[in-house]
């Protein structure tokens, strides 16, 4: 089925687009992510080689992921003039990304007097050698010119809450440049090695935090001067850090790298006949998921901003299990199992957090770092007017996060049939999550049902509410699954199992109103001011204001960041008739700001369930183009939150598969309801894996055909 031959590009240069294009043109291989920035950029322009699963805390600041020294640095001078964006305006500039092969490209033309100087570069984060980045940098002129190229390591990295290195050692040995850095908190050693192949001889120079090879030469017209480098990145935590290559043959490394991408795309490409824009947007989203998936190394997961930098502290959120997991489950179940293993391994941290608040079981971190440490603080927002930190309740009241682990676990069992994950700790994770929700239950004297109080749902604009619909439904699901899956497991007594079952039956989950069909998002929601999103936007004094919290413009209104009811209906469509789902879609969507990248896909999925692909399509495209188009939110109060949005990418895939194609799993086999293709779509095709078998799914307006393939 492979026909993917997509090269995206932006022509022209604007300093205002640097952060957006840094996200848009990200490359990665699961071990690290490399922002799509020019080779000459220094820290203030946000280049980053972001490392998966490596964290540090600078004194007095937030703990966050670590960016490695930049071994891709190159700076060109021509006839003594410095050629660097953005300080020198180019005559021509193009940045490109080959989605099919994970290749980042750049072509820039400058004029220096009467001389035209062209730089062309290509780089990739090797899928075959996870510690390696390969770069080719080519210079040519149309008249003779004196050129100087500085190429090497820039150790002065961009940090949001850093720096993170207590020491930096820059050395050269046998032609290999080396930066060896030690983190402040735990003394993790981050090493970057650069080996270069050049057409001229260079000298080694050290300038501030840079260790460089300086190449001086007289360039002849119409001759291409090719400089190739292998950048090797490793840490003292890497078990495979011994014997890593310091110089690879560029073409051979590229061949092996693209072969890996071919195998990945064979499983993950989606074809949409009749809508090239949607096909590109969805495959672009899939590209981003593919290049940040943990396919090798230790216990790692996928952060909320992928590997695009240190935003949200490089932490793993519930986004991974609820929005990205389905994609990997159906295209690369080994990655899905790795994601589950991360949560199983970090169970002790979740239990420690629950105990901190006086609860039983496992309360998973809102912002999970290694060991399940919750990096989330009690003050996550800065007031734009006073500059003071504002008390938030993400860490201690978003109790729905533990249920996301159970939802992913049950989906994994359903789709793969692999129950070994239970024996490998999944059963203990399930038990402790059920114990957590059981300990949260409250019951008033004289009432025969349980409630869950004082929580924050996925809609973060309304804090400390009672009986949030999404939270309570997910808690019930957790209790039901524990009672079912632990039936014959000795880790759970029969008395406790029956207690879970009884609690699930009696837990209050807001139900549709008999007259209106509407489900109240939480107790008292319908009594809040019924203002429009536009009205609230007009009330803002500063566009960077946070809409939630005690004083946010949305806090005392029905306007949501993302509608919890829509998410609940999207996750449990079998619980509700179509007319109820439709009435709630029509009520909640106009009252939702879509202030989270997680929001649009849930409404799009729900729109498919009610047979309205016309409602779903623009929301699907909003998710699929979240990082492709500019305009994503860059600030939360005074905190920079720019970066990629892999949850939106995963959500777009869920809409295409579950929503437009109608894919589901019934009795361990793939099945489909009537497809809901958007107008103009002639055919939607993709592959899935289920119970070790490969299937080709083809959806047309009339039906969805699922064909088993011979492996």
Active site residues: 460
Q: How far apart are CA 606 and CA 247, in angstroms?
A: 51
Q: How would you label 544-562 residue by residue, b for 16+ Cβ within 10 Å and e otherwise?
A: ebbbbbeebbbbebbbbbb
Neighbours of 180 (CB within 10 A): 18
Question: Strands (DSSP E) along 248-315, which ranges?
Answer: 270-273
Residue 101, CB half-sphere, CA atoms under 13 Å: how many? 17
Helix (H), strand (E) at residue 18:
helix 18-24
User: For residues 331 and 348, what is the distance between their CA atoms, to the nearest angstrom?
Assistant: 30
3-class secondary-structure state, position 695: strand
Q: What angle do CA 110, 115, 117 make, to 5 degrees?
A: 40
Among residues 660, 655, 671, 669, the alpha carbon closest in space to that of 699 is found at 660
DSSP string covering 532-567, please? Answer: -HHHHHHH-SSTT--SSTTT-TTTTBS-BSS-HHHH
Residue where the block lists tokens 């240069």: 13
The H-assigned helical ranges of 370-493 are 394-397, 401-416, 420-421, 427-440, 469-485
Residues 6+ apart with CB under 8 A from 173: none
Q: How many CB atoms lie within 10 A of CB 110?
A: 21
Which residues make Cβ contacts (< 8 Å) with residue 359, sequence separation at least 6?
Answer: 436, 439, 440
Residue corresponding to tokens 């001889």: 201
427 three-class SS: helix
- Using the structure block, give the residue that is written with the tokens 């960041």: 561
- Helices 469-485 and 494-506: angle between axes, nearest 10 degrees: 150
């Amino acid at each position: 089925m492979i026909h993917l031959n997509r090269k995206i590009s932006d022509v022209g240069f604007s300093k205002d687009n640097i952060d957006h294009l840094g996200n848009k043109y990200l490359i990665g291989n699961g071990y690290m992510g490399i922002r799509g920035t020019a080779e000459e950029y220094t820290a203030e322009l946000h280049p980053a080689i972001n490392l998966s699963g490596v964290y540090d805390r600078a004194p007095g600041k937030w703990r966050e992921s670590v960016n490695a020294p930049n071994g891709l640095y190159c700076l060109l001078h021509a006839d003594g003039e410095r050629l660097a964006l953005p300080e020198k305006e180019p005559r021509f500039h193009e940045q490109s990304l080959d989605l099919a092969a994970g290749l980042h490209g750049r072509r820039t033309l400058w004029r220096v007097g009467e001389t035209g100087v062209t730089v062309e570069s290509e780089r990739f984060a090797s899928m075959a050698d996870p510690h390696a980045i390969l770069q080719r940098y080519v210079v040519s002129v149309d008249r003779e010119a004196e050129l100087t190229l500085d190429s090497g390591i820039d150790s002065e990295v961009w940090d949001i809450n850093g720096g993170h290195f207590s020491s930096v050692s820059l050395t050269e040995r046998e032609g290999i440049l080396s930066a060896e850095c030690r983190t402040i908190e735990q003394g993790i050693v981050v090493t970057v090695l650069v080996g270069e192949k050049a057409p001229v001889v260079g000298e080694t120079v050290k300038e501030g935090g840079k260790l460089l090879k300086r190449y001086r030469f007289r360039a002849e017209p119409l001759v291409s001067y090719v400089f190739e480098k292998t950048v090797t990145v490793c840490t003292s935590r890497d078990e495979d850090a011994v014997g890593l290559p310091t110089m690879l043959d560029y073409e051979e490394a590229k061949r092996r790298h693209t072969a890996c991408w071919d195998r990945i795309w064979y499983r993950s490409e989606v074809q949409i006949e009749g809508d090239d824009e949607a096909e590109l947007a969805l495959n672009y989203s899939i590209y981003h998921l593919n290049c940040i998936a943990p396919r090798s190394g230790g216990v790692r997961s996928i952060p909320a901003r992928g590997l695009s930098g240190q935003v949200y502290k490089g932490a793993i959120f519930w986004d991974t299990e609820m929005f990205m997991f389905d994609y990997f489950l159906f295209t690369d179940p080994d990655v899905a199992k790795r994601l589950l293993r991360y949560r199983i391994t970090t169970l002790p941290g979740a239990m420690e957090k629950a105990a901190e608040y006086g609860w039983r079981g496992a309360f998973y971190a809102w912002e999970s770092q290694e060991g399940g440490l919750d990096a989330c603080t009690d003050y996550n927002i800065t007031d734009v007017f006073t500059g003071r930190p504002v008390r938030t309740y993400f860490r201690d009241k978003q109790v729905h996060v533990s249920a996301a682990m159970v939802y992913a676990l049950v989906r994994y069992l359903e789709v793969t049939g692999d129950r070994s994950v239970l024996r490998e700790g999944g059963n203990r994770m399930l038990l402790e999550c059920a114990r957590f929700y059981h300990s949260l239950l409250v019951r008033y004297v004289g009432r025969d049902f349980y409630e869950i109080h004082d929580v924050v749902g996925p809609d973060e604009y309304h804090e400390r509410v009672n009986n949030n619909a999404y939270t309570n439904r997910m808690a019930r699901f957790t209790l039901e699954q524990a009672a079912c899956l632990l039936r014959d497991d000795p880790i759970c007594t029969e008395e406790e199992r029956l207690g879970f079952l009884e609690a699930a039956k009696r837990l209050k989950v807001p139900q549709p109103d008999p007259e209106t069909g509407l489900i109240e998002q939480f107790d008292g929601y319908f009594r809040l001011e019924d203002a429009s999103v536009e009205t609230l936007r007009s009330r803002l004094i500063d566009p960077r204001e946070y809409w939630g919290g005690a004083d946010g413009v949305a806090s005392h209104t029905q306007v949501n960041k993302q509608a919890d009811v829509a998410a609940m209906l999207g996750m449990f469509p079998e619980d509700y008739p179509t007319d109820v789902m439709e009435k709630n879609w029509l009520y909640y969507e106009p009252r939702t700001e879509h202030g989270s990248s997680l929001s649009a896909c849930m409404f799009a999925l729900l729109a498919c369930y009610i047979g309205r692909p016309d409602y779903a399509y623009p929301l699907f495209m909003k998710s699929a183009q979240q990082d492709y188009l500019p305009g994503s939110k860059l600030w939360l109060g005074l905190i920079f939150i720019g970066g990629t949005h892999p949850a939106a990418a995963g959500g777009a895939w869920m809409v295409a598969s579950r929503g437009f194609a109608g894919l589901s799993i019934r009795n361990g086999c793939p099945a489909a309801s009537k497809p809901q293709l958007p107008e103009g779509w002639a055919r939607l095709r993709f592959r899935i894996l289920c119970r070790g078998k490969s299937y080709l799914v083809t959806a047309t307006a009339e039906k969805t055909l699922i064909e088993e393939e011979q492996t």
